[in-house]
Protein backbone atom coordinates (compact mmCIF):
# COMPACT_ATOMS: atom_id res chain seq x y z
CA UNK A 1 0.00 0.00 0.00
CA UNK A 2 2.86 2.37 0.81
CA UNK A 3 4.45 1.72 -2.59
CA UNK A 4 1.13 2.35 -4.34
CA UNK A 5 0.61 5.52 -2.31
CA UNK A 6 4.12 6.80 -3.10
CA UNK A 7 3.75 6.01 -6.81
CA UNK A 8 0.42 7.81 -7.08
CA UNK A 9 1.59 10.88 -5.13
CA UNK A 10 4.72 11.15 -7.30
CA UNK A 11 2.58 11.07 -10.42
CA UNK A 12 -0.12 13.36 -9.06
CA UNK A 13 0.16 15.87 -11.92
CA UNK A 14 -0.44 13.21 -14.57
CA UNK A 15 -3.29 11.66 -12.61
CA UNK A 16 -5.02 15.02 -12.06
CA UNK A 17 -4.63 15.94 -15.73
CA UNK A 18 -6.08 12.62 -16.94
CA UNK A 19 -8.99 12.78 -14.50
CA UNK A 20 -9.70 16.39 -15.47
CA UNK A 21 -9.89 15.43 -19.15
CA UNK A 22 -12.18 12.54 -18.24
CA UNK A 23 -14.52 14.81 -16.25
CA UNK A 24 -14.50 17.38 -19.04
CA UNK A 25 -15.70 14.93 -21.67
CA UNK A 26 -17.77 12.72 -19.35
CA UNK A 27 -19.43 15.35 -17.14
CA UNK A 28 -21.91 12.83 -15.75
CA UNK A 29 -19.16 11.99 -13.23
CA UNK A 30 -20.48 14.97 -11.26
CA UNK A 31 -23.62 12.93 -10.54
CA UNK A 32 -21.39 10.53 -8.61
CA UNK A 33 -18.91 12.98 -7.08
CA UNK A 34 -21.24 15.89 -6.35
CA UNK A 35 -20.01 19.42 -5.68
CA UNK A 36 -21.73 19.21 -2.30
CA UNK A 37 -19.01 16.72 -1.35
CA UNK A 38 -16.20 19.25 -1.86
CA UNK A 39 -16.18 20.46 1.75
CA UNK A 40 -16.03 16.90 3.08
CA UNK A 41 -13.23 15.98 0.67
CA UNK A 42 -11.22 19.02 1.71
CA UNK A 43 -11.83 18.15 5.34
CA UNK A 44 -10.35 14.68 4.74
CA UNK A 45 -7.26 16.25 3.13
CA UNK A 46 -6.84 18.66 6.05
CA UNK A 47 -7.34 15.83 8.57
CA UNK A 48 -4.44 14.08 6.85
CA UNK A 49 -2.40 17.26 7.16
CA UNK A 50 -3.24 17.34 10.88
CA UNK A 51 -1.97 13.79 11.30
CA UNK A 52 1.40 14.85 9.91
CA UNK A 53 1.69 18.18 11.78
CA UNK A 54 4.31 18.25 14.51
CA UNK A 55 5.21 20.89 17.08
CA UNK A 56 8.59 21.05 15.34
CA UNK A 57 6.83 22.42 12.24
CA UNK A 58 6.43 25.70 14.10
CA UNK A 59 9.87 25.85 15.69
CA UNK A 60 11.21 27.67 12.63
CA UNK A 61 8.94 30.57 13.58
CA UNK A 62 10.97 30.95 16.78
CA UNK A 63 14.36 29.91 15.42
CA UNK A 64 14.13 31.94 12.20
CA UNK A 65 11.21 34.36 12.70
CA UNK A 66 12.42 36.71 9.96
CA UNK A 67 12.33 34.00 7.26
CA UNK A 68 8.88 32.71 8.24
CA UNK A 69 7.38 36.20 8.57
CA UNK A 70 8.78 37.17 5.15
CA UNK A 71 7.14 34.04 3.75
CA UNK A 72 3.78 34.79 5.36
CA UNK A 73 3.73 38.37 4.10
CA UNK A 74 4.90 37.31 0.64
CA UNK A 75 2.09 34.72 0.51
CA UNK A 76 -0.67 37.11 1.48
CA UNK A 77 0.58 40.13 -0.50
CA UNK A 78 1.98 38.82 -3.79
CA UNK A 79 -0.80 36.44 -4.86
CA UNK A 80 -3.64 38.87 -3.98
CA UNK A 81 -1.76 41.63 -5.84
CA UNK A 82 -1.39 39.44 -8.93
CA UNK A 83 -5.10 38.54 -8.64
CA UNK A 84 -6.00 42.24 -8.57
CA UNK A 85 -3.87 42.96 -11.64
CA UNK A 86 -5.30 40.01 -13.60
CA UNK A 87 -8.89 40.97 -12.77
CA UNK A 88 -8.19 44.55 -13.90
CA UNK A 89 -6.14 43.80 -17.03
CA UNK A 90 -8.41 41.07 -18.39
CA UNK A 91 -11.59 42.82 -17.22
CA UNK A 92 -12.85 39.51 -15.85
CA UNK A 93 -16.55 39.01 -15.28
CA UNK A 94 -17.87 38.47 -11.76
CA UNK A 95 -17.56 34.67 -11.73
CA UNK A 96 -13.96 34.54 -12.95
CA UNK A 97 -13.02 37.51 -10.75
CA UNK A 98 -14.32 35.69 -7.67
CA UNK A 99 -12.38 32.55 -8.59
CA UNK A 100 -9.12 34.43 -9.13
CA UNK A 101 -9.64 36.43 -5.92
CA UNK A 102 -10.28 33.29 -3.86
CA UNK A 103 -7.19 31.55 -5.22
CA UNK A 104 -5.11 34.65 -4.52
CA UNK A 105 -6.46 34.99 -0.98
CA UNK A 106 -5.88 31.38 0.09
CA UNK A 107 -2.90 30.07 2.09
CA UNK A 108 -0.18 27.90 0.61
CA UNK A 109 -1.05 24.38 -0.48
CA UNK A 110 0.32 21.27 1.21
CA UNK A 111 1.78 20.06 -2.10
CA UNK A 112 4.26 22.93 -1.87
CA UNK A 113 6.11 20.99 0.83
CA UNK A 114 6.63 18.02 -1.51
CA UNK A 115 7.75 20.28 -4.35
CA UNK A 116 10.17 22.06 -1.99
CA UNK A 117 11.73 18.71 -1.14
CA UNK A 118 12.06 17.76 -4.82
CA UNK A 119 13.50 21.19 -5.63
CA UNK A 120 16.19 20.93 -2.91
CA UNK A 121 14.69 23.97 -1.22
CA UNK A 122 14.36 24.63 2.53
CA UNK A 123 11.68 22.07 3.44
CA UNK A 124 11.49 23.05 7.13
CA UNK A 125 10.81 26.65 6.14
CA UNK A 126 8.23 25.51 3.59
CA UNK A 127 6.31 23.47 6.18
CA UNK A 128 6.41 26.34 8.67
CA UNK A 129 5.08 28.89 6.17
CA UNK A 130 2.33 26.53 5.00
CA UNK A 131 1.29 25.77 8.58
CA UNK A 132 1.30 29.43 9.67
CA UNK A 133 -0.60 30.73 6.63
CA UNK A 134 -3.16 27.94 7.02
CA UNK A 135 -3.81 28.91 10.63
CA UNK A 136 -4.15 32.58 9.64
CA UNK A 137 -6.49 31.77 6.73
CA UNK A 138 -9.83 32.07 8.61
CA UNK A 139 -9.15 35.76 9.20
CA UNK A 140 -6.99 36.80 6.26
CA UNK A 141 -8.66 34.91 3.38
CA UNK A 142 -12.16 36.46 3.84
CA UNK A 143 -10.57 39.89 4.36
CA UNK A 144 -8.50 39.75 1.17
CA UNK A 145 -11.42 38.36 -0.84
CA UNK A 146 -13.56 41.28 0.34
CA UNK A 147 -10.87 43.78 -0.62
CA UNK A 148 -10.55 42.29 -4.12
CA UNK A 149 -14.19 41.81 -5.11
CA UNK A 150 -16.31 43.04 -2.20
CA UNK A 151 -17.31 46.27 -3.92
CA UNK A 152 -19.07 44.52 -6.79
CA UNK A 153 -20.25 41.29 -5.10
CA UNK A 154 -21.99 40.71 -1.80
CA UNK A 155 -19.56 38.87 0.49
CA UNK A 156 -20.34 37.55 3.95
CA UNK A 157 -16.88 37.55 5.52
CA UNK A 158 -18.15 36.11 8.81
CA UNK A 159 -19.74 33.17 7.02
CA UNK A 160 -16.48 32.57 5.11
CA UNK A 161 -14.57 32.71 8.40
CA UNK A 162 -16.83 30.01 9.87
CA UNK A 163 -16.49 27.86 6.74
CA UNK A 164 -12.70 27.95 6.88
CA UNK A 165 -12.77 27.03 10.55
CA UNK A 166 -15.03 24.07 9.70
CA UNK A 167 -13.19 22.69 6.67
CA UNK A 168 -9.59 23.61 7.57
CA UNK A 169 -8.92 24.28 11.24
CA UNK A 170 -11.22 21.70 12.88
CA UNK A 171 -10.07 18.77 10.66
CA UNK A 172 -6.43 19.73 11.27
CA UNK A 173 -7.00 19.87 15.04
CA UNK A 174 -8.77 16.50 14.93
CA UNK A 175 -5.78 15.09 13.04
CA UNK A 176 -3.36 16.50 15.62
CA UNK A 177 -5.44 15.06 18.48
CA UNK A 178 -5.71 11.69 16.75
CA UNK A 179 -1.95 11.56 16.37
CA UNK A 180 -1.47 12.41 20.05
CA UNK A 181 -4.00 10.01 21.56
CA UNK A 182 -4.06 7.24 18.94
CA UNK A 183 -0.40 7.09 17.89
CA UNK A 184 -0.36 3.42 16.88
CA UNK A 185 -3.31 3.83 14.52
CA UNK A 186 -2.11 7.11 13.05
CA UNK A 187 1.39 5.76 12.46
CA UNK A 188 -0.14 3.07 10.27
CA UNK A 189 -2.11 5.74 8.41
CA UNK A 190 1.06 7.71 7.62
CA UNK A 191 1.90 5.36 4.76
CA UNK A 192 -1.36 6.02 2.95
CA UNK A 193 -1.73 9.75 3.70
CA UNK A 194 -0.39 10.74 0.25
CA UNK A 195 -2.94 8.40 -1.31
CA UNK A 196 -5.78 9.93 0.73
CA UNK A 197 -4.72 13.48 -0.16
CA UNK A 198 -4.37 12.57 -3.82
CA UNK A 199 -7.82 11.00 -3.86
CA UNK A 200 -9.27 14.14 -2.27
CA UNK A 201 -7.63 16.51 -4.74
CA UNK A 202 -8.62 14.43 -7.77
CA UNK A 203 -12.20 14.04 -6.53
CA UNK A 204 -12.59 17.79 -5.95
CA UNK A 205 -11.26 18.61 -9.41
CA UNK A 206 -13.44 16.00 -11.13
CA UNK A 207 -16.53 17.14 -9.25
CA UNK A 208 -16.13 20.82 -10.14
CA UNK A 209 -14.99 20.20 -13.72
CA UNK A 210 -17.74 17.66 -14.42
CA UNK A 211 -20.46 19.95 -13.07
CA UNK A 212 -19.29 22.84 -15.26
CA UNK A 213 -17.93 21.07 -18.34
CA UNK A 214 -19.88 23.11 -20.91
CA UNK A 215 -19.00 26.45 -19.35
CA UNK A 216 -15.35 25.40 -19.08
CA UNK A 217 -15.14 24.54 -22.77
CA UNK A 218 -16.75 27.88 -23.63
CA UNK A 219 -14.27 29.83 -21.48
CA UNK A 220 -11.25 27.50 -21.45
CA UNK A 221 -8.84 29.90 -23.15
CA UNK A 222 -9.21 32.83 -20.79
CA UNK A 223 -9.35 30.61 -17.70
CA UNK A 224 -6.13 28.80 -18.60
CA UNK A 225 -4.30 32.03 -19.43
CA UNK A 226 -5.31 33.65 -16.15
CA UNK A 227 -4.58 30.54 -14.07
CA UNK A 228 -1.16 30.01 -15.64
CA UNK A 229 -0.18 33.67 -15.28
CA UNK A 230 -1.32 33.76 -11.65
CA UNK A 231 0.75 30.71 -10.80
CA UNK A 232 3.91 31.50 -12.80
CA UNK A 233 4.00 35.16 -11.73
CA UNK A 234 3.63 33.93 -8.15
CA UNK A 235 6.72 31.77 -8.59
CA UNK A 236 8.71 34.63 -10.10
CA UNK A 237 7.73 37.33 -7.60
CA UNK A 238 8.14 34.92 -4.70
CA UNK A 239 11.67 34.10 -5.86
CA UNK A 240 12.57 37.77 -6.28
CA UNK A 241 11.10 38.58 -2.86
CA UNK A 242 13.66 36.17 -1.44
CA UNK A 243 16.38 37.95 -3.39
CA UNK A 244 15.25 41.38 -2.21
CA UNK A 245 15.53 40.25 1.41
CA UNK A 246 18.89 38.62 0.63
CA UNK A 247 17.85 35.13 1.66
CA UNK A 248 20.06 32.23 0.65
CA UNK A 249 19.23 30.31 -2.53
CA UNK A 250 17.40 27.42 -0.85
CA UNK A 251 15.11 29.89 0.89
CA UNK A 252 14.53 31.81 -2.34
CA UNK A 253 13.36 28.57 -3.94
CA UNK A 254 11.07 27.92 -0.97
CA UNK A 255 9.51 31.36 -1.21
CA UNK A 256 8.88 30.92 -4.93
CA UNK A 257 7.13 27.59 -4.37
CA UNK A 258 5.16 28.70 -1.30
CA UNK A 259 3.86 31.82 -3.00
CA UNK A 260 3.02 30.20 -6.33
CA UNK A 261 1.27 27.07 -5.03
CA UNK A 262 -2.05 27.82 -3.35
CA UNK A 263 -4.55 25.76 -1.37
CA UNK A 264 -6.88 25.69 -4.37
CA UNK A 265 -9.00 23.05 -2.65
CA UNK A 266 -10.00 25.69 -0.10
CA UNK A 267 -10.74 28.14 -2.92
CA UNK A 268 -13.01 25.55 -4.57
CA UNK A 269 -14.74 24.85 -1.26
CA UNK A 270 -15.42 28.53 -0.60
CA UNK A 271 -16.60 29.04 -4.18
CA UNK A 272 -19.11 26.18 -4.09
CA UNK A 273 -20.35 27.14 -0.61
CA UNK A 274 -20.57 30.93 -0.80
CA UNK A 275 -20.69 31.72 -4.51
CA UNK A 276 -22.88 28.95 -5.92
CA UNK A 277 -24.52 31.51 -8.23
CA UNK A 278 -21.13 31.90 -9.96
CA UNK A 279 -20.10 28.30 -10.82
CA UNK A 280 -17.08 29.36 -12.88
CA UNK A 281 -15.50 30.65 -9.67
CA UNK A 282 -14.97 27.07 -8.51
CA UNK A 283 -13.66 26.13 -11.96
CA UNK A 284 -10.81 28.63 -11.65
CA UNK A 285 -9.78 26.96 -8.39
CA UNK A 286 -10.07 23.46 -9.87
CA UNK A 287 -7.99 24.27 -12.93
CA UNK A 288 -5.43 26.06 -10.76
CA UNK A 289 -5.07 22.79 -8.85
CA UNK A 290 -4.45 20.94 -12.11
CA UNK A 291 -1.95 23.45 -13.43
CA UNK A 292 0.08 24.12 -10.28
CA UNK A 293 0.73 20.39 -9.82
CA UNK A 294 2.11 20.29 -13.37
CA UNK A 295 4.10 23.52 -13.10
CA UNK A 296 5.36 22.59 -9.63
CA UNK A 297 6.96 19.44 -11.00
CA UNK A 298 8.57 21.40 -13.82
CA UNK A 299 9.83 24.05 -11.41
CA UNK A 300 11.30 21.41 -9.09
CA UNK A 301 13.22 19.92 -12.02
CA UNK A 302 14.63 23.36 -12.89
CA UNK A 303 15.49 24.24 -9.30
CA UNK A 304 17.31 20.94 -8.70
CA UNK A 305 19.92 21.99 -11.26
CA UNK A 306 21.18 24.94 -9.25
Q: What is the CATH number of the domain that holds 19?
A: 1.20.1530.20
Residue 1 confidence (pLDDT): 63
CA 146 to chain centre: 19
Q: Are 62 and 210 in contact (CB under 8 A)?
A: no
Per-residue pLDDT 10s for the chain (306 aa) are: 667 666 666 677 788 888 999 999 999 998 899 998 999 999 988 888 888 777 666 777 788 899 999 999 999 999 999 999 999 999 999 999 999 999 999 999 878 888 888 898 998 899 899 989 999 999 999 999 999 999 888 899 999 999 999 999 999 899 888 888 888 888 777 777 777 777 888 899 999 999 999 989 999 999 999 999 999 999 999 999 999 999 999 999 999 999 999 999 999 999 999 999 999 999 999 999 889 988 998 898 899 888
In what helix (H) or strand (E) does residue 172 lie, and over which residues does it extend?
helix 170-181
Handedness of CA 92, 98, 104, 110 (dihedral sign): negative
Q: How many domains are contained in the chain?
A: 1
pLDDT score of 51: 82
Which pTM value belongs to this model? 0.91
Distance CA 237, CA 223 (A): 21
CA atoms within 13 A on the CB side of 40: 7
Residue-range definition of the domain harbouring residue 42: 2-303
The rounded distance, in Å, linking the Cα atoms of 238 and 78 is 7
Amino acid sequence: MKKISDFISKNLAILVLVCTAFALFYPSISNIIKTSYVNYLLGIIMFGMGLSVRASDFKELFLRPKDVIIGIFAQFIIMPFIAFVLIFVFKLDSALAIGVALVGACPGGTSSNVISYLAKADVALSVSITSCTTILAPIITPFITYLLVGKSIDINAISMFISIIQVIIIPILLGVLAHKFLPKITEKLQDILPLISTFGIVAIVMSVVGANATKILDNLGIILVVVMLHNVLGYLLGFFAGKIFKLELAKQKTLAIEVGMQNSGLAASLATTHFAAYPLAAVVAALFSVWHNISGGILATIFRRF
